[in-house]
Amino acid sequence: MKYILIILIVVLVGVGIFAYNYEFAEEDYDQKVIGICILTFSFIWMPLFIYHRYKGRKKEDFILSNEKLKEMNDYGRKE
């Protein structure tokens, strides 16, 4: 999964840079290609990255509870 994400981001950035610098025969074709790259980044690469980064973690680690609030307040007072 890690290598798929790396390859996909390199391809997206490469195509985006190519479309930005290359002059196509059709007027707005470069803007369409850049837009497709941004949509692909937003709706394919980012969810895959988030899934890869946070798989195997417990949901409770990210929920703010009263116990965690008390721990944060105590930590701030110790210093």
Instruction: Determine the Cα–Cα distance for residues 67 and 6; give it in Å rounded to an integer.
Output: 38
pTM of structure: 0.66
Domain count across the chain: 1
Residue 9 pLDDT class (50, 70, 90 cuts): very high
Range of the domain at 10: 2-78
Per residue in 18-56, pLDDT (tens digit) is 888 887 777 788 888 889 999 999 999 999 999 998 888
Alpha helical stretches, state H, the chain: 2-21, 29-40, 46-54, 66-78
